Amino acid sequence: MPGSNFGTLFHISTFGESHGPALGVVIDGCPAGLALTEEDIIPYMNRRRPGQSQYTTARSESDTPEILSGTFNGVTTGAPIAILIRNTDQRSKDYSEIADIFRPGHADFTFFEKYGIRDYRGGGRSSARETAARVAAGAVAAKLLREFNIEAIAFTKSISDITVDDKFLDPMENRVRRDDVLKSPVFMPDSAAGERACAFLDKKREELDSTGGVVRIHVTGLPAGLGDTVFEKLDARLAGALMSIGAVKGVTIGDGFSVSLSTGSLDNDSFYADDDLNIHTTSNHGGGILGGMSTGGMIIAEAAFKPTPSIAKEQETVDKAGISRKISIKGRHDPTVVPRAVVVCECMVNLVIADALLTNATARLDNLHKIYRR
Amino acid sequence: MPGSNFGTLFHISTFGESHGPALGVVIDGCPAGLALTEEDIIPYMNRRRPGQSQYTTARSESDTPEILSGTFNGVTTGAPIAILIRNTDQRSKDYSEIADIFRPGHADFTFFEKYGIRDYRGGGRSSARETAARVAAGAVAAKLLREFNIEAIAFTKSISDITVDDKFLDPMENRVRRDDVLKSPVFMPDSAAGERACAFLDKKREELDSTGGVVRIHVTGLPAGLGDTVFEKLDARLAGALMSIGAVKGVTIGDGFSVSLSTGSLDNDSFYADDDLNIHTTSNHGGGILGGMSTGGMIIAEAAFKPTPSIAKEQETVDKAGISRKISIKGRHDPTVVPRAVVVCECMVNLVIADALLTNATARLDNLHKIYRR
Amino acid sequence: MPGSNFGTLFHISTFGESHGPALGVVIDGCPAGLALTEEDIIPYMNRRRPGQSQYTTARSESDTPEILSGTFNGVTTGAPIAILIRNTDQRSKDYSEIADIFRPGHADFTFFEKYGIRDYRGGGRSSARETAARVAAGAVAAKLLREFNIEAIAFTKSISDITVDDKFLDPMENRVRRDDVLKSPVFMPDSAAGERACAFLDKKREELDSTGGVVRIHVTGLPAGLGDTVFEKLDARLAGALMSIGAVKGVTIGDGFSVSLSTGSLDNDSFYADDDLNIHTTSNHGGGILGGMSTGGMIIAEAAFKPTPSIAKEQETVDKAGISRKISIKGRHDPTVVPRAVVVCECMVNLVIADALLTNATARLDNLHKIYRR
Amino acid sequence: MPGSNFGTLFHISTFGESHGPALGVVIDGCPAGLALTEEDIIPYMNRRRPGQSQYTTARSESDTPEILSGTFNGVTTGAPIAILIRNTDQRSKDYSEIADIFRPGHADFTFFEKYGIRDYRGGGRSSARETAARVAAGAVAAKLLREFNIEAIAFTKSISDITVDDKFLDPMENRVRRDDVLKSPVFMPDSAAGERACAFLDKKREELDSTGGVVRIHVTGLPAGLGDTVFEKLDARLAGALMSIGAVKGVTIGDGFSVSLSTGSLDNDSFYADDDLNIHTTSNHGGGILGGMSTGGMIIAEAAFKPTPSIAKEQETVDKAGISRKISIKGRHDPTVVPRAVVVCECMVNLVIADALLTNATARLDNLHKIYRR
């Protein structure tokens, strides 16, 4: 499947460059009968929109999504749902300086090597702006998941070494409130940590430098058994989805890399049955996934983001001809990509879970009998 | 695509349970004209075979692969390559004890929830034995990559907190020799660390417990530009592939989670041109991938494995009816899954790279002109 | 793959309803480096545009395609190419009459049964207007094929029992000129037959009735060996592609159904070598495809179209409640769908051939060596 | 998706050459909980087995399928179902005569052009023997469909111009009994026509020649709404599936090519409601499919087969070097492929319908609510 397609049954196809006329997505496979309007999408677009706080870029992107197809009287019809986001800030800038130069930490060089041509205006297809289409699609997935009381909440776990309080990381209980996340300029549920992070970011900006961080995602409400046993394990899909976001260099599920230091007797999550004989785990080192399938417990995933590669500090590089050049990236850039990436992570997780919900529907013959023998 | 299928053009479909008659894989999409016999596959099978050292299970699996199709006179024909591996150790054991019990840390519960039925003999489809088919396929991918001087080497980076010397982790130069890896009972290129790891594993076994570790993979020889810009980023594919291996809970590319603590000025890999005006990076924090595409530098990936869930220590759990049960897993189990997982990681990486090599072939019109206008 | 997606490497995802804001397509997988602007697409759009002659609907659709992404300075970049076609003729009509009634010969009933909801305005997603997106994509595929001197020409072979002269159907030589096709109001290369067809259509319209016909497609310039041996045979792909066009009820390759009456000694196309030792067939009963792969000869395919289901004549039907209703379809409808379907057939063939051209690129190891070892 | 893969959710991957060690198929996506043993498959294998009557080849193929995975205690587990069919008749023959010669009407030339290498023993991957794997998979699909009272019956409609009586072709009622089909040596439900066909085939054999014919398939029991609206229309999938069978040159649905001669008022199938207000059509020109989705009426499809290309009569051809050669195919060949192709057609239809049944499960939100909200 070509590279801008994602998902088996809840399938999306995205398009658009940073400085082209528009970005967008076609969602093919969303079940018919779901109430859906632009109002469901706009709050998600707003969360990734730059210029929301002083820690995100000042470029004004109104990012108004337009649903072009797939709904009728505000309800999905089963036809593909196309969502269009016009680029409104395309004033013709002078890109001659970066047209031939490969910016360190950016895809300029690798894109040019692959395709032999490069839309250098703002990074083209490799711009973070590409994620606007993911967010629009993820908002639709979220609406579908809400029908089944499934909800993903992403938040900033850390900016550099400033990390939210441990209580927000309890794997057995989701103590993260969406409201607390949204009111933080860096999307940390812990306001004290958030303040420290803001101060740190101010410092990085003054230093003409940038920093990284970690986004964490909690998913609650999943039935047990979503996912698959081999290549399409739920954690494999989540890892691929999160790693596909620009600047992510690491992905974990549950306890992540620390499991390598643990022991079987500590790491295994024991089972118990509640009074209704529903089975749960007594701990959640596994992050809600066992053997590639959901346990019914909270899903926990993390993604590590590298520092924003666009920095004002002068850097060494080369141009297309291989001539040494110095570059300092002009303009007002985010000292970290993390806050804007939070909603992107949440949306990628929504897409994976929605797809798993659909593909799981035919796992059992008795499910089919529920549908076809009424 | 159903869950036991993997790859776009170098496509595999695997099958087989731990205690069924056989496992195997069908590879569809391997180019015609590649020399291939069972001799190319056997060394890979041997590397994942249990009973290789005292740190891996004693079960005797001869794991002899049989090529059933797709080659003629020792050369691939373009037809699907089916590889069969008979299970030779299926003596009828008494599985009645675990037939109804959900082992902690295993897929017993989630598989049963998903499918409503479970082949409990040795874990069925969720057994690590499933990876034999991946290894057979990965060996074929390796043979293809060798045609282009591309090679992946996986090794044990750490067992619990025992880690190989830093020199083996230099991101700018692959100091890991395959011979050194293969002669270590735990597949560590650093013999001193390997000895400490063996002593640690002995101790864990005496404690009836287990431990985890980290596998690292280096890939050399890649041309720049393999991969894709959005969902099919090379790192996204690698992350999904590695996370799809049982017991993996974390995956990184390049500097991994430590990038979250870095700064843009430190983390960005600068470009320079060599005397032939070929462009390289002066450092390799990115692990050979930028914007989802290979830079031409060494690819570096890591996967964190949780401790073997099968431990002799008594554990709490429940049975299908929700009744509390105690379980201590009988038999001789590996105190860590890491050594046997090394070749599995290498093979999954081979599969991803081989697929990227093929899908990249049509990225540019001039590539097509090389093929179609002679 | 969900139902509005098509193609493996030259992959398209279409969207849009008859009376929604817009239709469009995202092409993912078109090689970088192809010159492409809206001017390449417009002539194709014009050919399917209604109101072109008195035998096609009067609805005014300007069908101006807008390329939203994937090109830079008039050349494809390897990024997805999104093409948008706004619906300009959406005056709010009174659809209350057909909102609850299932039109005979239309998808109203089956769509409602499948999805439980129906955008009844002009047929919604099941409208022939959906094919505008296919045509836009097929125009891009045609541009790609032209790079390799491959060209598909579709034309009307027959309207009811009025058929073009046999000379246009010679399987060994393509005697159909694009100019002759385009200047015919019914897209028949035979002007005499075209005139008879026009007279017949006038009569059908007077009778408030409609008629069917056959579209034939010739493809020249293909190298031998495109296609595949089993499920993705070139003829299988063509058959699926043509049958996916609304109103098609039969598809043939080469001599089609008449082969069932032939003998092996007559039907087998013998081989001979020309002076340059290039191998050809002495006849072309097979329509340029043998064992699912192109022979290098002219590809010949046909598609049979049923009469336009929208007729002014009164018909019996039922509404959603199962109540008997009479219906006579209002408005000015085409007495046959064939002329407008000609370009749609051509474009579907272009899409299949373009995809086969790309997927074939990795069939042989020596092809890969041409790309990766320079 | 590479060429030996088929299906979206009921996905199969086949392998095997005519004279290799084995053929087989991996079915990934069959729901768990279906009773399945080799006994379900054997009758289908027997129907395509050669040597069944004097009109099919004498080669002895026992074609015993072995289920290697995916079932436990005779029930599917949701894991991939691999079915192996060993080739038992691989005596080493002298193929030197055809090793370098391109047989007319066979894939020898095109396969060689595509892959640059050819397993010439018995046609290799392009042998009709490949269909054994399709039949094994189709038998499993049939077992699944039977759970929902859906049944496909294929039969020989005609051998050359000898056609079964019209009563067997009534589109409103399936008058074809499986028993009648199976007891005919040419699988015609009309014993009188069958006798004439046998006499005709004897004559063709005496003439060292061969003939073609038409296979027709009836599917009953389908719910309305299976299929899709655009590229994955049910008829498009059927057309692609049938055309992918070797020697098929034409495919129709319902009235097929004769619709091109009809009128809208005759061709449209009117709707009526029965006493329970279930909606049906009063006629069935459309062959049970409208707008790409099933109407709930009987599905009717036909496939036209060309004469067996292997004939004893001498033919002109060339060898690899382009040198003119004469060839008369040795051995005892079927004077027609039609009887053995009947079960192959039925099985391909089963695969398409089973896949449509699964993919349709998530078309509506209310279907999902039946599964996930208990």
For residue D284, the distance in angstroms to the closest alpha carbon of chain C comes to: 10
pLDDT above 70: residue C147 = yes
pLDDT value at A279 more than 60: yes
Which of D15, D34, D66, D359 would you mutate first to test chain B, the one with the most B CBs within 10 A?
A: D15
- What's chain A's average pLDDT? 94
Task: Give residue-wise pLDDT tens across range A323-352.
Answer: 999 999 887 788 999 999 999 999 999 999
> How confident is the model at residue A97, as a pLDDT?
75
pLDDT band at C97 (very low <50, low <70, confident <90, very high): confident
Average pLDDT over residues D207-222: 97
Query: What pLDDT does C92 receive?
Result: 59
Q: Name all chains with 3 or more CB-CB pairs below 8 Å to chain C.
A: A, B, D
Q: What is the per-residue pLDDT across A121-164, written as a single tens digit (0 to 9) for each?
A: 989 999 999 999 999 999 999 999 999 999 999 999 999 999 99
Select from B29, B68, B76 the Cβ nearest to the Cβ of D16: B68
Q: Is A341 helix (H, G, I), strand (E, B) or coil?
A: helix
Calpha distance A236→A226 (Å, rounded): 12
Report residue A193's pLDDT band, with 50, 70 and 90 as the boundaries.
Answer: very high
**Tokens standing for residue B305:** 């494995």
Judged by CB atoms closer than 8 Å, whether chains meet at D365 and A78 is answered as no
Average pLDDT (C292-298) is 98
Instruction: Work out the pLDDT band at D96, boundaries 50, 70, 90.
Output: confident
Residue B45's closest CA among B86, B75, B15, B17?
B86
Beta bridge partners of A67: A83
Contact yes or no for D229 and C3 at CB 8 A: yes
| A160 contact partners, CB below 8 Å, separation of at least 6 | A197, A200, A211, A212, A213, B260, B261
Tell me, what DSSP letter sits at residue D125? G
Alpha-carbon distance of D40 to B190, in angstroms, equals 55
Hey, what are B38's tokens? Answer: 């069972």
Amino acid at site C341? A
pLDDT band at C17 (very low <50, low <70, confident <90, very high): very high
Assess: ipTM above 0.90: yes
Touching partners of D (3+ C-beta pairs < 8 Å): A, B, C
Q: What is the pLDDT of residue D54?
A: 55
Q: Which residues pair with C72 in a beta bridge?
A: C75
CB B142 within 8 A of CB B152: yes
Question: Which residue of A19, A86, A119, A134 is the best one to mutate when testing the C interface, meaning the one whose CB has the most C CBs within 10 A?
Answer: A119
User: Tens-of-pLDDT digits for all 374 residues of chain B?
Assistant: 799 999 999 999 999 999 999 999 999 999 999 999 999 999 999 998 765 555 555 445 578 999 999 999 999 999 999 999 999 865 556 677 789 999 999 999 999 999 999 999 989 999 999 999 999 999 999 999 999 999 999 999 999 999 999 999 999 999 999 999 999 999 999 999 999 999 999 999 999 999 999 999 999 999 999 999 999 999 999 999 999 999 999 999 999 999 999 999 999 999 999 999 999 999 999 999 999 999 999 999 999 999 999 999 999 999 999 999 999 988 778 899 999 999 999 999 999 999 999 999 999 999 999 999 75
Could you give the CA distance from residue C127 to residue D143 in angstroms, rounded to a whole number? 36
Q: What is the pTM of this model?
A: 0.97
Say what the pLDDT of residue D82 is: 98
- Whether the Cβ atoms of residue C109 and residue C102 lie closer than 8 Å to each other: yes
**A-chain residue closest to C6, CA distance:** A1
Q: Are B83 and B65 in contact (CB under 8 A)?
A: yes
Show residues of chain A in contact with D367, CB under 8 Å. Answer: 31, 361, 371
Q: What is the pLDDT of residue A49?
A: 76
Say which residue the tokens 């596994």 belong to: A286
Question: In angstroms, what separates the C-alpha of A78 from chain D's closest C-alpha?
Answer: 6
* Angle between helix A131-146 and A38-48 (nearest 10): 130
Q: Across the interface, which of A15, A33, A68 has its CB nearest the CB of C80?
A: A15
Does the pLDDT at position D74 exceed 60? yes
- Please say if the pLDDT value at position A56 is more than 70: no
Closest by CA to D298, choosing from D236, D219, D374, is D219
pLDDT tens digit sequence for D167-212: 999 999 999 999 999 999 999 999 999 999 999 999 999 999 999 9
Query: Would you state the pLDDT for residue A48?
Result: 87
Phi-psi domain of B345 (left: phi exceeds 0; alpha: psi -120 through 50; beta: other): alpha
Inspect the interface and report whether the beta carbons of C34 and B229 lie closer than 8 Å: no
Phi and psi, residue A83, nearest 5°: -125, 125
Strands (E), D206-308: 213-220, 248-253, 271-273, 279-281, 289-290, 293-294, 299-305
Burial class (CB in 10 A: 0-12, 13-18, 19+), C32: buried
Give the strand pairing for C151-159 and C81-86: unpaired
Cβ proximity of C144 and C70 under 8 Å:
no
Chain B touching partners, 3 or more CB pairs below 8 A: A, C, D
Q: Do D15 and B66 touch (CB under 8 A)?
A: no
pLDDT of residue A52: 55
Question: In which region does residue B183 sit, left (phi positive, over 0), alpha (psi from -120 to 50) or beta (all else)?
Answer: alpha
DSSP string covering C15-67: EE-TTSSEEEEEEE-PPBT-B--HHHHHHHHHHH-TTSSTTS--------EEE
| Calpha distance B66→B71 (Å, rounded) | 12
pLDDT of residue C101: 95
Tokens of residue C295, six digits:
């022979």
Residues with Cβ within 8 Å of residue A159, at least 6 apart in sequence: A186, A188, A197, A200, A201, A211, A212, A213, A336, A338
Residues from chain D that touch A2, judged by Cβ atoms under 8 A, are none
Element (H, E) at D266: helix D264-267
CA–CA min distance A36, chain C (Å) = 14
- Report whether D340 contacts D56 (CB < 8 A): yes
Rounded distance between C-alpha atoms, residue A25 and residue A83, angstroms: 5
Q: Alpha-carbon distance A108 to A16, whole Å?
A: 17
Residue type, A346: E
DSSP state of C364: B
pLDDT band at A89 (very low <50, low <70, confident <90, very high): low
From the number of C-beta atoms within 10 Å of its C-beta (0-12, 13-18, 19+), residue D321 rates as exposed
The proportion of chain C whose per-residue pLDDT surpasses 90, expressed as a percent, equals 90
